[in-house]
Structure 1
Amino acid sequence: MSEIENLRETIENIREELDALDEARDEAQVILRDLHKLSSEAVYEVHRGNLEEARDKLDEAAELVSELHDLLGDFPELLRTGFAENHLQEYAEAEILYSIVKDRRAPSPEEINVSPRAYLLGLLDAVGELRRIVVDALREGDLDRAEEFLNVMEEIYSLTMTFDYPRAVVPNLKRKQDVARSLLERTRSEVTIAGKTEELKKTLERE
């Protein structure tokens, strides 16, 4: 039986590359599982007001992100798919939330070592966590804090609503924009009602 020139060698090279890809994916899954856990814990600590604990979690997460980039450096296709990017979005969301709450600033994608796409989607997800802060502030009667973080929500939405890309470029962008808009509208309504209630209360107290 005749052989096609170079085909056997080509197939073996492909097998080696795919074996390496599969092995890297298995190793990455362990890192991503821990990254998800640390990101979730950091968000939880931010909401509890434990910013030092949140920073510790994020520092651990940042090391994992660095490990992930080293591991998948030869396999960028894994970094760009939902396999890894969804977890990097969660990490970006946690870093953004922490920085906004602690320093009233947002880190850049370069600072936290994530792609612009993961950063954008994480930023939109952070709107939901900021709503939780507003709701907690209203529950505690802190209207000033509620208004402050409502303003942050509005700024994020106004800056990101202009992005218009197909799913192939930024997956789930439209859905996340729609969710952010819905959350913003609900939160704005609740803060407005709380403000009017506070004004009425002060008016009645003066009478």
Structure 2
Amino acid sequence: MLNTQYIKKIQKDLHEFAEIRLELIKNCGDALHISKRAIFDMHRGDLNEAKEKISKAEKILKNIYKKYSRNKKVFEEGSYKAAVEEYVEASLFYQFIKTGKIGKVISFSVESEVYLAGLCDVPGELYRYAIRSASEKDYEMVEKCVLGAEEIIGELIEFDFTKYLRVKFDQAKQARNKLEIVQYELSLRQSDRIA
């Protein structure tokens, strides 16, 4: 006959994970939203507020990581990966604005694919930041954004991406192409002033 004890254990395990998942979705949603707002703050030039929000998102994600470190299933959840990806994007973009460099995220363990997905989003932010910089006539920053995007693409092109990361990489290349157009148009305007 059917081992009902085993069936009940499966039911209990699934119910417990469903409760964990609901809490996870809420907390990850908060971290994702805070990271998005940090990026928005950076585009407005409010780096102090951006840093504060990045720290807040980091704290939420660190708590999740510590709380569920023994339950690896949690880290496969889409809500968790999306929140970490957005946090990585915000952190890397902040690093670029503050230092001109992009490094790793060291506050907690980030899966390589999630890091790469966040990195693929940075050229899009660099494009938006370059547009803002161009409107403020900060041509040096526009050039830094172009070079930053080119360096990211130059490194990522060595990967043989498939599926999700391939889509992200293609989006990064499109952002880099848009940056090149901005750079070209600025060079035309500057040459018109000289002539």
AA at the equivalent of 1:116: S
More relative contact order, 1 or 2 (CA 8 Å, 6+ apart): 2
Look up the match of 2:173: 181
Look up the match of 2:117: 121
Superposition map of 1:137-156 within 5 A: 137-156=133-152
Look up the match of 2:92: 96
Shift of residue 126, structure 1, vs aligned partner: 1.3
Of structures 1 and 2, the larger Rg is shown by 1
AA at the equivalent of 2:134: L
Task: In structure 1, list runs of 5 or more residues that go unmatched.
Answer: none
AA at the equivalent of 1:88: V
Q: Distance in 1 between matches of 2:162 and 2:11?
A: 33
Look up the match of 1:80: 76
Look up the match of 1:33: 29
Q: Distance in 1 between matches of 2:95 and 2:134?
A: 22
The number of residue pairs the alignment matches comes to: 195
| Dislocated runs of 4+, deviation >6 Å | none
Look up the match of 1:105: 101
Shift of residue 134, structure 1, vs aligned partner: 0.8
Q: Is the 8 A contact 2:127 2:178 kept in 1?
A: no
Shift of residue 112, structure 1, vs aligned partner: 4.9
Shift of residue 73, structure 1, vs aligned partner: 2.5
Shift of residue 145, structure 1, vs aligned partner: 1.3
Percent identical residues: 24
Look up the match of 2:126: 130
Q: Distance in 2 between matches of 1:129 and 1:97?
A: 7
Superposition CA RMSD, Å: 1.6
TM-score normalised to structure 1 length: 0.87
TM-score normalised to structure 2 length: 0.92
